[in-house]
Chains A and B, each alone.
Chain A
Amino acid sequence: KAGVTQTPRYLIKTRGQQVTLSCSPISGHRSVSWYQQTPGQGLQFLFEYFSETQRNKGNFPGRFSGRQFSNSRSEMNVSTLELGDSALYLCASSQGNAVGGPDEQFFGPGTRLTVL
């Protein structure tokens, strides 16, 4: 099976612009989670989508949004970029419907966003 893919791998934007990142989960996985990693704050959960619905949300401002399509592919969008949004954005996929047990998350390689 192919792993989680993220595009683009690298991105440079300027303050005030917006950006859209894409994630293709492992085939058969219905849950996609997004995380932000910065040197100062470490790895932080942004949100999770399951069957095209946002199911969990972290503590990030409304400038960060996402969506999921019927084929489980997901996009996240950051509007009005700030310098502090420079980070590695990671996507993780899982089956998402585990009952009473663990649900392993498999991570993609990430998109490195630099805001100038």
Chain B
Amino acid sequence: DAKTTQPPSMDCAEGRAANLPCNHSTISGNEYVYWYRQIHSQGPQYIIHGLKNNETNEMASLIITEDRKSSTLILPHATLRDTAVYYCIVRVTHSGNTPLVFGKGTRLSVIA
């Protein structure tokens, strides 16, 4: 089962920041927070990941609370092409590979 809780849907006006919350209250010390998104009928796309520090890349920023029990993905200037289902995933990583366990995600609708 997924170890994260996300709101089922959110709306955001085009050009505004989209803030997508995720609760992972049972996260362990060796588990990372990953974000993926899936645009309709396409394969999921990696966005960003983090352990305990805030992270930023060209797509988004990830803010993780100090106790690591929740995080927020920020899309700074949402466009219509950001309309997608966003998945927050907690994942143990060590030598080798571990599967991604997807929950239901948040369906983000960017509105013109």
Contacts and interface: CB of A to CB of B under 8 A. Distances in A.
Interface stretch (A14-22, A60-68, A71-79, A94-102): A94-102
Interface of B is mostly: loop
Interface string B41-62: 1111110010000000000000
Interface residues of A, number: 32
B43 A4 contact: yes
A27 interface: no
B10 to A, nearest CB: 18
A110 B97 contact: no
Contacts of B41: 88, 110
B101 interface: yes
Interface in B56-112: 87, 91, 93-104
A30 to B, nearest CB: 10
Interface of A: 4, 31, 33, 35, 42-45, 48, 50, 55-56, 58, 88, 90, 92, 94, 96-110
When A and B form their complex, which 8 residue pairs have the shortest distance between CB atoms, in order from nearest?
Answer: A107-B43, A43-B102, A45-B99, A99-B95, A102-B93, A107-B44, A96-B97, A104-B46
Given A56-B99, A92-B44, A107-B44, 5 more contacts: A42-B102, A58-B99, A98-B96, A99-B95, A110-B43
